[in-house]
Amino acid sequence: MSFDPAALRRQFPLLAGDPELHYLDNAATAQLPQAVLDALVAHETHARANVQRGSYPLAEGATEAYERARESVRRFLNAGRADEVVFTSGTTAAINVFAHAFGARLAAGDEIVITRAEHHSNFVPWQLLRERRGAALRVLPLAGDGRIDLARLAEAVTARCRLIAITHASNVTGALTDLAAVVSAARAVGARVLVDGAQAAQHGPLDVQRLGVDAYAFSGHKCFGPNGVGVLWVRRELLESLPPVFAGGGMVGRVSLEETTFADAPARFEAGTPPIAQAVGLAAALEWMLSLPWAEIRAHEERLARRLLAALAGMDDVAILGPRETRERLPIVAFNLRGIHSHDLTQVLGDGGVCLRGGHHCAQPLHAAFGVEASVRASFALYNDDADIDALIAGLAAARRTLR
Ligand code: PMP
């Protein structure tokens, strides 16, 4: 299949209906293709029922659709088994569930390594765990180029380290993490690796077996799927050993006045009615992604990022946060325009149809490392094109005139 961004864009009703809309906030959420909208409507119209409970055909069909969705996630992640996939409400929920389950067996003095580049979702749960369990946190700093300083791994990962919780890619700088180096540092001391894949998952199917990590979290809404669904993938041998976090229907074996036994994973981690149509919609999004030519799409996204980085580098009032080159990065570019507040800038750009995010992007420790409070962020997805960059560059010129 050959790749034509304009044809792809036509599959997205929200974008196709408004040629003047330049949606460059894909790191916050991606748009929905027609295939996913159709899958959602079809499920809710013809197959809606609760799962894992009823024994009439409609309920059995809903359960089958929900379990098929698990298999689509397995394929997308190239995981070994579908029963390693836990559905959650998103990356944040996935990381919190893992922090509670994995954290339950930590002792005072055990160490967790995180990094300064983390989204608050992969930062604050570990601070809370530090308070609950007395675990110690070690935070890898950024290197001079704004990437996570993996040269400091050997020093940060001690014999007391139990877990490295690290992002696959920064939602601000776009820098990708060399997970092979992280995994080998963890293995050397018998620690586990949890990866925040919220950003990376939007840019093509993954291979958790090749990555060699133990757990991986991502959100449906950033992968052309619905809100309210996400994934916590955990290697089977580890998942089986973890205690439940939320309690309620669907996660138990037998409940009596005296005691309760728990279901096997993944049901053990899915208390209550799960996001059923959302999981079906996510599966449609991931199957849609699996059908696309990713080598061409990555080249396209990289070309867009290179063009924007070059344009910004030529503006003497622009400061880019993080790497200026496209090697090992996602098409996410954060920057500041001297003397202009990020919110003012995104408002003026927004009035012109250019959608960018301004603020700290839930990454205050990272912004502090760059000596700023906030930035504006342009993030490209597969349907973006040169017209979006033209509009952004024109918008920056207009903002200089209006705001200075
Ligand atoms: N981690 C990263 C790197 C992110 O970019 C985001 C979303 N901004 C999250 C975690 C949280 O994702 P969600 O809000 O979907 O739970």
CA–centroid distance, residue 170 to ligand 1 (Å) = 10
Burial class (CB within 10 angstroms; exposed 0-12, middle 13-18, buried 19+) of 259: exposed
Class of the CATH-defined domain 5-24+293-403: alpha beta
- Tokens representing 160? 């007391």
Q: Is the CB of 196 under 6 A from ligand 1?
A: yes
Domain extents in the chain: 5-24+293-403, 37-290
Q: Is the CB of 96 under 6 A from ligand 1?
A: no
Residue 87 confidence class, pLDDT cut points 50, 70, 90: very high
Q: DSSP state, 240? A: H
Q: What is the pLDDT of residue 54?
A: 86
Confirm whether 362 is a catalytic residue: yes
The pTM assigned to this predicted structure is 0.98
Q: What is the pLDDT of residue 3?
A: 84
Q: What is the rounded CA–CA span in Å between residue 84 and residue 216?
A: 10
Residue nearest to atom 4 of ligand 1 (CA): 198
The tens digit of pLDDT for each residue in 225-254 reads: 999 999 999 999 999 999 999 999 999 999
Task: Report the chain's mean pLDDT, rounded to a whole number.
Answer: 97
Burial class (CB within 10 angstroms; exposed 0-12, middle 13-18, buried 19+) of 54: middle
Q: Which atom of ligand 1 is nearest to the CA of 89?
A: 16
Q: DSSP state, 142? A: B
Q: Which atom of ligand 1 is nearest to the CA of 168?
A: 3
Q: Is the CB of 92 under 6 A from ligand 1?
A: yes
Q: What is the pLDDT of residue 404?
A: 85
Q: Which atom of ligand 1 is nearest to the CA of 92?
A: 16
Q: Is the CB of 388 under 6 A from ligand 1?
A: no
CA–centroid distance, residue 284 to ligand 1 (Å) = 21
Q: Is the CB of 90 under 6 A from ligand 1?
A: yes
The tens digit of pLDDT for each residue in 330-372 reads: 999 999 999 999 999 999 999 999 999 999 999 999 999 999 9
**Cα–Cα distance list, 319 to 224, 301, 395 (Å):** 30, 21, 17
Q: What is the pLDDT of residue 1?
A: 57
CA–centroid distance, residue 217 to ligand 1 (Å) = 9
Do β-strands 260-262 and 252-255 pair in parallel, antiparallel, or remain unpaired?
Answer: antiparallel
Q: Is the CB of 198 under 6 A from ligand 1?
A: yes
CA–centroid distance, residue 384 to ligand 1 (Å) = 21
The tens digit of pLDDT for each residue in 110-146 reads: 999 999 999 999 999 999 999 999 999 999 999 999 9
Number of CB atoms found within 10 A of residue 102's CB: 24
- The CATH number corresponding to 37-290 among 3.40.640.10, 3.40.50.300, 3.40.109.10, 3.40.228.10 equals 3.40.640.10
The tens digit of pLDDT for each residue in 145-195 reads: 999 999 999 999 999 999 999 999 999 999 999 999 999 999 999 999 999
**Cα–Cα distance list, 152 to 113, 127, 143, 158, 188 (Å):** 11, 21, 9, 11, 15
Residue 53 confidence class, pLDDT cut points 50, 70, 90: confident
Q: Which atom of ligand 1 is nearest to the CA of 90?
A: 16
CA–centroid distance, residue 199 to ligand 1 (Å) = 7
